[in-house]
Amino acid sequence: MKAVTNPPPAVDVILPCLDEAAALPWVLERVPPGWRALVVDNGSTDGSAALARDLGARVVSEPRRGFGAACAAGLRAASADIVCFCDCDASLDPSLLVPFVREVRAGESDLVLGRRRPTASGVWPAHARAGNRVLARMLRRRTGLALHDLGPLRAARREALLALDLTDRRSGYPLEMVVRAADAGWRVTEHDVPYLPRTGASKVTGTWRGTWHAVRDMRRVLARPPAREAAPGNPAAATEPARVPAQDSAPAQNPAQDPAPEGRTR
């Protein structure tokens, strides 16, 4: 009798989670059909892990605190060819990842990022915007990429991401992914996505101290020397520098607000 094996999911959506029980139902019901939600519990005390299981998600435990630690654990646990990342606080809709995945699958881009456009005032604290302006200038000098945001909504191929060998386990993880992808010659694209008021308090940008720690982590990433050659398994040919094509997405719902790059919103 042959063993029954389940085929890998079409896409794995990695959802770092720290006390997000109030937001989980909204987030998980918006994961596209056929995709798998990987909720990485990073030490929640509000029952998030049990709730996620009840709602049909696969739960991965990562006791080591840190956004990068949670993302890395989710990436190791994933099995789909294409993986996505999304915050678990209801500030971003996972269904917005569908065109991102389509772009990666078609070979039009190696890493697709969501440029968050606030739908209400107060979504981006002033201290977070100040930190972002510093990081934006540093990122452009370091890589040449004219990105507007380093938000958590993103898609890429799993094996290629693993080959980048990301090491940051704190707030610098999203930035390190972009920097190493640029060094490896990846094609990087960015598209506007609506950014909603999050459910609950931010673990990082909700305070000056949290923002400072995030900026410090990211400055360490930018201070590292560029990679001399493309990482093994690079999905791009790596013969040209990474680029950001012109925006072709819908205009922001609140065009009066145009935030600079944000490394982390938890």
Query: Which of 53-62, 77-86, 205-214, 230-239 is least confident?
Result: 230-239
Kindly report, residue by residue over 205-224, the tens digit of the pLDDT: 445 455 555 556 666 666 67
Nearest C-alpha neighbor of 191 from the set 256, 86, 113, 109: 113
Region for residue 243 given its phi and psi (left: phi exceeds 0; alpha: psi -120 to 50; beta: otherwise) = beta
CB 189 within 8 A of CB 147: no
Report pLDDT for 134: 76
Q: How far apart are alpha carbons 250 and 219 in whole angstroms?
A: 31
**How far is the C-alpha of 26 from the C-alpha of 163, rounded, in Å?**
33
Cα separation, 92 vs 28, in Å, equals 11
pLDDT in tens, 174-189: 999 999 999 999 999 9
| Percent of the chain residues past pLDDT 90, beyond the cut | 55
DSSP code for 246: P
DSSP 1: -
Which carries the bigger pLDDT value, residue 259 or residue 168?
168
Q: Confidence class of residue 239 from pLDDT cuts 50, 70 and 90? A: very low
Residue 210 pLDDT: 53
Q: Which residues have C-beta within 8 Å of that of residue 241, sequence separation ≥ 6?
A: 144, 182, 185
Q: What is the pLDDT of residue 163?
A: 97
The 10 Å Cβ neighbour count of residue 106 is 8
What is the model's pLDDT at position 262?
Answer: 39
Residue-wise pLDDT tens digits, 13-40:
999 999 999 999 999 999 999 999 999 9
Q: What is the mean pLDDT of the chain?
A: 81
Q: What is the pLDDT of residues 52-65, one digit of tens each?
A: 999 999 999 999 99
